[in-house]
Amino acid sequence: MPNHQINPNQWIDLYSDYLYNYTITRVSDKEIAQDLVQDTFLAGLKSMKNFKGEASERTWLISILKRKIIDHYRKINSNKGKAEVRISYNNDSETEGDWLEERVADPFDKTAEDTMQNSELGDTIHNCLGKLPKKQADVFKMKTIQGFETEVICNELSITASNLWVIIHRARTAMADCLKENWF
Amino acid sequence: MSKIKILIPCEDANHVCDKTQYKEATLWEKIILNIHLIYCRVCRKYTKNNTKLTKVIKKSKVECLDKKCKETMKLDFEKALKEYSN
């Protein structure tokens, strides 16, 4: 098995979107997610000598990020947890306004499953984006995910509109193929 | 009026289809595309996949870091990298 090399210069280009997407589904706050990703890169830099090359860089960074997310929840819980008022619906004393409906599972509420599926889908999309050539991935991200106008992207990357559409077309074909294997 | 083409080659059709995904195609272009789709099975397939891709990405709500934020992140990181290597 080939040993994986570590190269921090490219981390942000290669993994920041993937890590960010991973974080945002778990903390659901943009600023916190950005900070956590940043912390992860810095922590990765510090403990670079512990990288054994058994896993890929990305897996290794994700494992750091997971610790960071857990730490984040510990921190907010230690401040807030003390002041929190916990309400339990299952106390046996008969109090007024204790509705039975609140104890029954809502069949229309499938959000937990939906979000799980969504976060997995996000991971798959980022995997597929990682397989595209860098330019295609950049253009596709700007156009489809961030929703910039054609002109803005053309100015930013100094390409012509027809050039942009060719890139978009190639990226879309590749993405559709990639997702077909994994998702559709 | 002989310049108006009802039948277009597949490349043009795909281009219009890509534009439709970002709501940038004109009504006329869309009509022409749909006429093309009536007789072209390959483009029908492409359009189907393309629409699906748009829907999937919309559904997944994937997010990307914007460029500014990435750049500040990069600057900070490079500083740390320099400190570390010294």
CATH of the domain at A160: 1.10.10
Joined tokens for residue B23: 């709501």
Mean per-residue pLDDT over chain A, rounded: 76
Question: How many structural domains compose chain A?
Answer: 2
For residue B18, the chain A residue with the least C-alpha distance is A169
pLDDT at A133: 85
User: What is the three-class DSSP state of B8?
Assistant: coil
Mean pLDDT of A159-168: 88
CB burial readout B60-79, b (16+ within 10 A) else e: bebbbbeeebbeebbeebee
pLDDT tens digit string along A95-128? 555 555 555 565 555 566 666 666 677 778 888 8
In a shared domain, residues A20 and A78: yes
pLDDT at A110: 57
The enclosing domain of A53 has a CATH number of 1.10.1740.10
Asked if the structure places residue A99 within a domain, the reply is no
Q: Which of B53, B56, B64 sits opposite A146 (nearest CB)?
A: B64
Residue B44 touches partner A, C-beta closer than 8 Å = no
Between CA B80 and CA A48 the distance in angstroms is 13
* Residue contact B69–A34, C-beta within 8 A: yes
Asked if the structure places residue A43 within a domain, the reply is yes
Collect all residues of chain A within an 8 Å Cβ-Cβ radius of residue B80.
42, 45
Joined tokens for residue A69: 């997310």
Asked if the structure places residue A156 within a domain, the reply is yes
Asked if the structure places residue A124 within a domain, the reply is no
AA letter at A81: G
Q: How far away is chain B from the Cα of A133, in angstroms, using its nearest Cα?
A: 17
pLDDT at A118: 66
Q: Given the structure tokens 């959000």, which residue do they identify? A: A111
In a shared domain, residues A76 and A133: no
* Residue contact A118–B60, C-beta within 8 A: yes
Report pTM: 0.66
Domain boundary among the residues A82, A115, A143 is at A82
**Taking the C-alpha atoms of A102, A104, A108 and A110 in order, what is their torsion angle to the nearest 10 degrees?**
100
Joined tokens for residue B61: 């709500």
* Residue contact B81–A45, C-beta within 8 A: yes
Domain residue extents for chain B? 10-85
Asked if the structure places residue A157 within a domain, the reply is yes
Asked if the structure places residue A158 within a domain, the reply is yes
Collect all residues of chain A within an 8 Å Cβ-Cβ radius of residue B65.
16-17, 20, 34, 37
Domain that holds residue A24: 1-82
